[in-house]
Amino acid sequence: MHWQYNHANAPAALGDKSAVIAQLQASLNKWTSQCAVTSQYDGETTLAPHGTGTSPTSDGTTVVGWNAFDATLSGWTYDWYADTGSGRTLIETDVTLNPSNINSLSELDRIATHEWGHAVGLAHSNLESAIMAGPPHTYYNMLNAPQSDDIRGCRCLYGLPPGIQASYACALPQDIDFGSVPVGMQSALRSVTLTNSGNAPMSLQSASVTTADFRRVSGCDPGTIVAPGGSCTMQLAANPGAAGTLTASLILSTNDGPYEFPLDAVGVGSTAPASANVVDVVEFYNAALDHYFISWTPAEIDNLDAGNTPTRWTRTGYSFKAFAASQPGASAVCRYYIPPIDGSSHFFGRNGAECSASLQAHPEFVVESQDYMQLYLPTAGACAAGTVAVHRLFDNRVDANHRYTTDPNVLAQMVARGWVAEGDGPDVVAMCAPQ
């Protein structure tokens, strides 16, 4: 990027021309240090920056200069480009700074860093936490340095600068729209692939959805390591709990910072019987870990059956029923990942209060879903007619693990082994499953 500077119309508070030029270059360096963009300052010019009028024209010279325009804005950048078949090549960028709104080098730094982001080809971000935040998706902020989303955008355009090892993912959907989905029913699964375009491994640390109307069914699990050039694929679904337009976000935390996936669906009235939402919760056992695990998710079950895990999981032959989506009178069961420091396992909480208390006591737990499935709660330790008691047992070891069973014999066997039954009433009932 070759650029020139025009000091005409600069505010009196920024009369030191050399200081302004140095600050502009320092702001640009925040981008060139993070992605494979290089720049060269070619001195001063008398050409004025274009881009704030009607049908701005290109003169072939990238200019940064001053001109009063819309009083609500402090800077404006206009890019000219040439189509190259597979993409676009920027051929000129003019940055206009508003002297009415910039009166210090710190203000210039903040505005110029944002405008240089436009100059390298970035639009406004949909993340409020990005320095490139701005209409129509977000609002301008007071940040003065590129954040993880900004740096990722620049790297997706130009790659990494020499000497930097990092992971990052590109080509992600701007929006995941499930369309119309009956209330209380699960939508068809949508696949989203995360590919590591960097030169260092990407570690996935947590995955959470902001509302119970959507869920990450499987894939890109916390703890996954995606090698450079490798990928993982998530299966996502909508489970509307109410009619109307529903929005949420899937937040995937990585060593490259957070990735946010906007989710949309329209919940419509459903006449489907409750039985349409009933799924089989299948139990697995890992002999190497002496751990138990349950899942109703088809893709996850297929993965475990196929042995596509570091250590082998096998079916125990036990299972019970649950609701895959919201069911009147039932309680949302959360699913939390217990990190290796506590046992590398999973915990299924029976209601919001228990889930919140568990997360407060163990903030290191990773929220995989606040509504993984739905079961009924016992009343005074007893399950209603038409349901069966689900017992939860804790191994009472440093490597925390739980087992969930509807079989009284299994309950007795595990207690005899020293496991602790968790639940209500004399039969120690945690939850109640549909028959």
For the segment 389-422, what is each residue's pLDDT rounded down to a tens digit?
Answer: 999 999 999 999 999 999 999 999 999 999 999 9
Is 80 exceeded by the pLDDT of residue 228?
A: yes
Residue 287 has a pLDDT of 93
Q: Provide the pLDDT confidence category of residue 309 given band limits of 50, 70 and 90.
A: confident
Task: Round to whole Å and give the CA distance between 257 and 26.
Answer: 24
Residue 275 has a pLDDT of 63
Q: Provide the pLDDT confidence category of residue 184 given band limits of 50, 70 and 90.
A: confident
Is 70 exceeded by the pLDDT of residue 271?
A: no
Q: Provide the pLDDT confidence category of residue 95 given band limits of 50, 70 and 90.
A: very high
Arithmetic mean of pLDDT, 178-195: 89
Residue 93 has a pLDDT of 95
Task: Round to whole Å and give the CA distance between 6 and 67.
Answer: 10
Residue 76 has a pLDDT of 95
Arithmetic mean of pLDDT, 139-155: 94
Residue 113 has a pLDDT of 98
pLDDT, tens only, 35-92:
999 999 999 999 999 887 777 888 989 999 999 988 889 999 999 999 888 788 999 9
Task: Round to whole Å and give the CA distance between 295 and 119.
Answer: 48
Q: Provide the pLDDT confidence category of residue 211 given band limits of 50, 70 and 90.
A: confident
Residue 276 has a pLDDT of 63
* More confident call, 343 vs 105: 105
pTM over 0.75: no
Query: Residue 345: beta bridge partners?
Result: 338
**Domain residue spans of the chain:** 2-158, 176-268, 274-434
Residue 270 has a pLDDT of 60
Pick the CATH number of 176-268 from 2.60.40.10, 3.90.1150.10, 2.40.50.100, 3.40.50.300: 2.60.40.10
Domain at 2-158, CATH class: alpha beta
Token pair of 297 as six digits:
């998710």
Mean pLDDT computed over every residue of the chain: 92
Sequence-ordered strand ranges (E) for 269-361 = 278-286, 291-295, 314-323, 331-338, 345-349
Q: Provide the pLDDT confidence category of residue 256 given band limits of 50, 70 and 90.
A: very high
Q: Give the whole-number percent of the chain exceeding pLDDT 70.
A: 98
Amino acid at 433: A
Residue 274 has a pLDDT of 59
The answer to whether 34 touches 117, Cβ cutoff 8 Å, is: no
SS (H, E, C) the chain: CEEEECCCCCCHHHCCHHHHHHHHHHHHHHHHCCCCCCCEEEEECCCCCCCCCCCCCCCCCCEEEECCCCCCCCEEEEEEEEECCCCEEEEEEEEEECCCCCCCHHHHHHHHHHHHHHHCCCCCECCCCCCCECCCCCCCCCCCCCCHHHHHHHHHHHCCCCCCCCCCECCCCCCEEEEEEECCCCCCCEEEEEEECCCCCEEEEEEEECCCCEEEEECCCCCCEECCCCEEEEEEEECCCCCEEEEEEEEEEECCEEEEEEEEEEEECCCCCHHHHEEEEEEEEECCCCEEEEECCHHHHHHHHCCCCCCCCEEEEEEEEEECCCCCCCEEEEEEEECCCCCCEEEEECCHHHHHHHHHHCCCCEEEEEEEEEEECCECCECCCCEEEEEEEECCCCCCCEEEECCHHHHHHHHHCCCEEECECCCCECEEEEC
pLDDT, tens only, 347-373:
999 998 999 999 999 988 988 899 999
Query: DSSP labels for 62-126?
Result: -EEEE----TT-SEEEEEEEEE-SSSEEEEEEEEEE-TTT--SHHHHHHHHHHHHHHHTT---BS
What is the Cα 79 distance to its own chain's centre? 30
Question: Of 72-76, 180-184, 270-274, 407-411, which gets the smallest average pLDDT?
Answer: 270-274
